[in-house]
Amino acid sequence: MSQNIRVFYTSTTLSWGFTVRYKEVSAAQPSYILPPPTTIVGAFSYPLARMLGLADSLPERKAYKNGYLASKTMKAFLDSTLAASAGVAGEGGLVMHQEPSKIHASIYKGVSEADRIRAEPFTEKFYRDALTRIFPVQATGATYAPGVKLYMTWVLDADKLLKNLRESGVRVDEEDLDSAARQAVHGVTRVGSKEGIVAVDHGLTGYERNPEIVSPGGKIRTIQYVPSECVDPEDKIPQVTLPYLDYSPRLFYIPSESASNTFLKPYSIPTGKWLRVKHPCKAYAPREFKEEFTSVGI
């Protein structure tokens, strides 16, 4: 059965970097070295949802799935996604750095504790005992990469998206989707937190119906990360752990000179690496820029 597929792709320039915090981490809060698939979906779908007039509301019955809560709109986009990926190329690199945040005092023994703290002189004993009465300093992480080029791809099943939207009470036809998407793909403004501003290179940005598909056994060349279970690389490629579309941790190959959870050095030019697609995965690529924007999904 053939799928009615759409692919969004763009090359953006990071202003300073981005912040995408680890899931289920409350104290030390590192950032992922690359935006994971869910963040890529969010970057593309935010302007698309605005152009389609979709409300990003929470479901009436808030139900947790695999430890997360998604709005109806975001859930419709995620469930319709076939692949989402990102990669970098050019001079410079990415580094995840953590800095201590503000110290937040917490008086949790009532008024008497507050009176006792105010009454005590600022002695060595006071400072030693005070450490047990405040929250520990939280190290807040961000990935710094000023001026670095970030390539992103989002591949979705258009029929499934329209069906998911209808089931959530929103009626959008295919013509409206395509009309909005061709403009929305140029409206990507940020990655991750709202401070992660990006500038779109409109010459390397586009929206394509029914892109090229590489079936299992075929070879691709890409600079974007790929789920490790989906490909056999011809050469050694760095691996990092990122959350997948269902927020579960997965190993991804990152075609680059070197990479870890805290550091990434990209290729000086977008050369990519040759990979053989494994069953049951497929690769999807816009025909004009397939060696940069190829994305692989399970």
Predicted local confidence at residue 108, as pLDDT: 45
Q: Which residues pair with 199 in a beta bridge?
A: 13
Q: Say which residue, 119 or 102, is predicted with more confidence.
A: 119
In three-state secondary structure terms, 58 is: coil
pTM of the complete model beyond 0.75: yes
Predicted local confidence at residue 157, as pLDDT: 97
Which residue bears the tokens 């403004």?
A: 189
Give me the amino acid identity at 47: P
For residue 107, is pLDDT > 70?
no
Give me the amino acid identity at 183: Q
- Both tokens of residue 65? 């799935």
Give me the amino acid identity at 56: D
Dihedral through CA 172, CA 177, CA 181, CA 183, nearest 10?
A: -80
Predicted local confidence at residue 103, as pLDDT: 47
Predicted local confidence at residue 195, as pLDDT: 87
For residue 234, is pLDDT > 50?
yes
For the chain, give the mean pLDDT. Answer: 86
Residue-wise pLDDT for 10-37, tens only, equals 999 999 999 998 876 766 788 999 999 9
Return the CA Rg of the chain. 22
Q: Quick one: average pLDDT of 221-238?
A: 95
Rounded to 10 deg, the angle between the 72-80 and 158-167 helix axes is 150
For residue 136, is pLDDT > 60?
no
Predicted local confidence at residue 112, as pLDDT: 62
Predicted local confidence at residue 120, as pLDDT: 58
d(CA 28, CA 249): 18
